[in-house]
Amino acid sequence: MKERENFGSRMAVIMALAGSAIGLGNIWRFPYLVGQNGGAAFVIVYIIATLFISLPIFFAESVIGRRSGANCRGAMERLAPGTKWKWMGFLMVFTPLWIVSYYSVVGGWSLEYLVQALRLDFIHTTPENLSGLFERFISRPYAPVAYHLAFLATTVTIVALGVKSGIEKFSKICLPVLFVLVVVIAVFSTTLPGAQKGVAYLLKPDFSKVTLKTCLDALGQSFYSLSLGMGIIITYSSYVSKKENLLVSGVGTAVSDLLFALLAGLAIMPAVFAAGIEPGSGPGLIFDTLPYIFAQMGLQMPWLSSIAAILFFVTILFAALTSSVSLIEVGVAYLTEEKGLKRGWACVLLFFLCGAVGVLCSLSFGPLAGTKVFGLGLFDFADTFASNVLLTLGGLLVVLFVGWKMARPDVFDEFTNGGTKRANVFWFKFFYFMIRYVAPVGVAILFISNLL
Residue closer to ligand PFF (CB basis): 26 or 306? 26
The nearest distance, CB 390 to ligand PFF, in angstroms, is 8
The nearest distance, CB 386 to ligand PFF, in angstroms, is 5
For 333: left if phi > 0, alpha if psi spans -120 to 50, otherwise beta; the answer is alpha
Distance CA 172, CA 166 (A): 10
Residue closer to ligand PFF (CB basis): 105 or 386? 386
The nearest distance, CB 397 to ligand PFF, in angstroms, is 16
Give the three-state DSSP class for 376.
strand
Residue closer to ligand PFF (CB basis): 95 or 305? 95
Residue closer to ligand PFF (CB basis): 158 or 295? 158
Residue closer to ligand PFF (CB basis): 103 or 432? 103
The nearest distance, CB 209 to ligand PFF, in angstroms, is 23
The nearest distance, CB 261 to ligand PFF, in angstroms, is 9
Q: Which residue is nearest to ligand PFF (CB)?
A: 23
Main-chain dihedrals φ then ψ at residue 280, nearest 5 degrees: -135, -165
> Dihedral sign, CA of 127, 131, 135, 139?
negative
Strand partners, 53: none
Give the three-state DSSP class for 372.
strand
Count the neighbouring beta carbons within 10 Å of the beta carbon of residue 216.
17
Q: Radius of gyration of the chain from Cα atoms?
A: 21
Which residues, other chains included, contact 286 with Cβ-Cβ below 8 Å and sequence gap of 6+? Answer: 27, 28, 110, 268, 316
Contact positions toward ligand PFF, by CB under 6 A?
A: 21, 23-26, 99, 103, 224-225, 227, 323, 386-387
Residue closer to ligand PFF (CB basis): 12 or 328? 328
The nearest distance, CB 410 to ligand PFF, in angstroms, is 28
Give the three-state DSSP class for 373.
strand
